[in-house]
């Protein structure tokens, strides 16, 4: 391999553990395993990105860019998929996979957004973090489309574990539908948002407007200072990489922490072809890797393997991990690998004007906004659609419209306009067997690996949920005193939410799932999957905090089982 390497273990190519992927969940696997003393190899298919050092645009001004940091026509033309992402532009394009770099086949329209580098999409995520509630774990079984093998109470201490280390800001809201966590002080709502909160909470007793919770350091604690991180500067340039470490990323937090133990080997430019299954031991023996630059094939070996390549690539690797025992993909006795892929429905949006105080403004570019936990079908089925949605909204002021020329135009252009409000949905989709990914039988990528076929779409339930949000959102804005309310359907493809989940779902029954309650493969006990691929359902919350908690829980379990010689 020609990729950059950190200190190798004493036995060439042999380690205690291998982690595939260095994004949010892979970084957590590396941290937990290295802290427990395991010599751990982290394989990253992309290039190395070192915190702060490799953020080339982080401190540049708009005039330092040829096109003032905007998304150019050329970027959009060459990248019709990735250019749809809100964070993709001239300042951040180096952290995104371009459309031609890793092609895939869209059997149905699907926008696959990827980041191949150390840190993965943890450099690019929207950083909103909420716990699931007991209703999110219990609801799918009630509604007949999935059975979580764990409860909220089992995951709660691991939520706390990752919240303390990552640094999550939020208020203690005491809501049954959105449990509190271990929080740093919350960001403040502006004056108009506070008024809206009071009006909505007064009129709708089952709907609770709270401040958003996010992975940004408002008041860094000693554990964050020890990581070398500092207070969030509210610059809203996060997709460029944060030199302050103000938001949580693998690059600023878990990867350097793992490196400090001396137990980490981080290897880049390493495209994982497949996991190697040993017929004699009935376990995985290692990982087959292709150097992304030289195409040289090398095999690495370990007692346990954590697969954290991000949902669709994790499915791809397992589907490509065939053997005499598993001709259809590792652990795939039931034929469900790659199926029940789900996502979040982001299609609904609203906007309005509101009469706010013209003598008041706000400071900084806050990294979160007010939100409303799901209130649909929480305790029982109440509507003509299953599940529900989370609501996000925000109020702000822009510049007034300017007319004329010269001094008159200049004076008008520096005046603030009135207050406006925007609102969006984050809807749960129901995992379906028909929503799946599979491998192409005739098309391969640059590394000789079959291309992934995506066959994922909305259904009638998603349309009903969208309709309800647009109507309810209008009612909420009207109750808050808004006017000129208008709504729309973005009609965006699945995938652009960047919350893909499923395909390697957890469950207690090997006939209906691929992983057990500890994220182990039912039929290959030393392989763990803890990224979004493991999810049984999507909930309405942003998923990354749950990925982190599941990963920390599974990694600690794996170490305990290794000590007992069970792996």
| Whole-structure pTM value | 0.96
Please enumerate, as own/partner, the contacts of 323-331 that have beta carbons within 8 Å and a separation of 24 or more: 323/277, 323/279, 324/279, 325/277, 325/279, 325/282, 326/277, 326/523, 326/524, 330/274, 330/275, 330/277, 330/284, 330/521, 330/524, 330/527, 331/514, 331/521, 331/522, 331/523, 331/524, 331/527
To which H or E segment does residue 413 belong? helix 406-413
Number of domains in the chain: 1
Is 444 contained in some domain? Answer: yes
Is 106 contained in some domain? Answer: yes
Is 236 contained in some domain? Answer: no
Annotate 396-423 with b (16+ C-beta within 10 A) or e (fewer).
bbeeeeeeeeeeeeeeeeeeeeebbbeb
Is 282 contained in some domain? Answer: yes
What CATH number should be reported for the domain holding residue 5? 3.50.50.60
pLDDT number for residue 3 = 43
442: Cβ–Cβ under 8 A, 6 or more apart, which residues? none
Is 416 contained in some domain? Answer: no
Looking at the chain, the number of H-run helices and the number of E-run strands are 11, 20
**Which of 174-188, 348-362, 393-407, 441-455 has the lowest average pLDDT?**
393-407
Q: What is the mean pLDDT of residues 259-274?
A: 98
pLDDT number for residue 411 = 75
Question: Which residues form the domain of 9?
Answer: 1-57+96-169+249-343+432-457+499-567
Is 314 contained in some domain? Answer: yes
| 349 neighbors 432 (Cβ within 8 angstroms) | no
pLDDT in tens, 143-186: 999 999 999 999 999 999 999 999 999 999 999 999 999 999 99
Is 139 contained in some domain? Answer: yes
Q: What is the mean pLDDT of residues 295-319?
A: 98
The pLDDT of residue 113 is above 90: yes
How far is residue 363's CA from residue 563's CA, in Å, rounded to a whole number?
52
Q: What is the mean pLDDT of residues 227-237?
A: 97
At residue 42's C-alpha, the angle toward residues 341 and 327, to 5°, is: 50
| 486 neighbors 351 (Cβ within 8 angstroms) | yes
Strands 14-20 and 297-307, sheet pairing: parallel
CA dihedral 186, 113, 109, 468 (to 10 degrees): 0
| 460 neighbors 475 (Cβ within 8 angstroms) | no
The pLDDT of residue 233 is above 70: yes
How far is residue 89's CA from residue 467's CA, in Å, rounded to a whole number?
31
Is 64 contained in some domain? Answer: no
How far is residue 316's CA from residue 503's CA, in Å, rounded to a whole number?
10
Q: Facing residues of 47 across strands? A: 117
Strands 416-428 and 344-345, sheet pairing: antiparallel
pLDDT number for residue 11 = 67
């Amino acid at each position: 391999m020609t990729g950059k390497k950190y200190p190798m273990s004493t036995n060439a190519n042999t380690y205690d553990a291998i982690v595939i992927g260095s994004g949010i969940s892979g970084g957590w696997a590396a941290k937990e395993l290295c802290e427990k003393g395991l010599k751990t190899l982290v394989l990253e298919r992309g290039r190395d990105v070192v915190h702060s050092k490799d953020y080339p645009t982080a401190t540049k001004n708009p005039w330092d860019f040829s096109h003032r940091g905007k998304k150019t026509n050329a970027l959009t033309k060459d990248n019709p998929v990735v250019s749809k992402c809100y964070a993709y532009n001239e300042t951040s394009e180096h952290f995104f996979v371009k459309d031609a770099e890793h092609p895939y086949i869209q059997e149905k329209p699907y926008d696959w957004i990827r980041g191949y580098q150390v840190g993965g999409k943890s450099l690019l995520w929207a950083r909103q973090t909420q716990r699931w509630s007991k209703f999110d774990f219990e609801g799918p079984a009630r509604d007949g489309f999935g059975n979580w093998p764990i409860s909220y109470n089992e995951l709660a201490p691991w939520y706390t574990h990752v919240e303390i280390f990552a640094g999550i800001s939020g208020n203690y809201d005491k809501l049954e539908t959105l449990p509190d966590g271990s929080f740093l002080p919350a960001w403040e709502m502006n004056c108009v948002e506070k008024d809206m909160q009071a009006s909505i909470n007064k009129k709708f007793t089952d709907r609770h407007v709270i401040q958003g919770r996010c992975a940004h350091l408002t008041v860094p604690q000693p554990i964050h200072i020890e990581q070398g991180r500092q207070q969030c500067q509210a610059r809203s340039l996060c997709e460029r990489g944060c030199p302050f470490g103000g938001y949580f990323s693998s690059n600023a937090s878990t990867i350097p922490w793992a490196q400090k133990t001396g137990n980490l080997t981080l290897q880049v430019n390493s495209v994982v072809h497949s996991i190697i299954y040993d017929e004699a031991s009935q376990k995985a023996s290692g990982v087959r890797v292709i150097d992304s630059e030289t195409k040289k094939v090398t095999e690495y070996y370990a007692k346990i393997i954590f697969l954290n390549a991000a949902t669709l690539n994790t499915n791809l690797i397992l589907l490509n991990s065939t053997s005499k025992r598993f001709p259809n993909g590792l652990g795939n006795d039931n034929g469900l690998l790659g199926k029940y892929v789900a996502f979040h429905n982001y299609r609904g949006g609203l906007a309005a004007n509101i009469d706010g105080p013209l003598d008041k403004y706000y400071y900084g570019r806050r990294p979160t906004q007010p939100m409303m936990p799901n209130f649909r079908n929480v305790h029982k089925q109440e509507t003509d659609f299953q599940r529900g949605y989370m609501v996000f909204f925000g109020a702000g002021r822009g510049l007034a419209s300017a007319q004329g020329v010269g001094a008159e135009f200049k004076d008008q252009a520096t005046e603030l306009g009135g207050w406006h409000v925007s609102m969006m949905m984050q809807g749960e989709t129901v995992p379906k067997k028909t929503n799946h990914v599979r491998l192409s039988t005739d098309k391969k990528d640059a590394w000789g690996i079959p291309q992934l076929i995506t066959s994922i779409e909305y259904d009638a339930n998603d349309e009903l949920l969208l309709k309800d949000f647009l109507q309810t959102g209008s009612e909420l804005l009207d109750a808050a005193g808004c006017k000129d309310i208008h709504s729309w359907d973005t009609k965006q493809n699945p995938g652009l939410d960047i919350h893909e989940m499923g395909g390697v779902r957890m469950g207690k029954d090997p006939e209906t799932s691929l992983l057990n309650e500890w994220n182990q493969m039912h039929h290959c006990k030393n392989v763990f999957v803890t990224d979004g691929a493991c999810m049984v359902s999507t909930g309405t919350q942003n998923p990354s905090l749950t990925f982190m908690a599941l990963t920390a829980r599974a990694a600690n379990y794996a170490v305990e089982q290794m000590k007992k010689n069970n792996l």
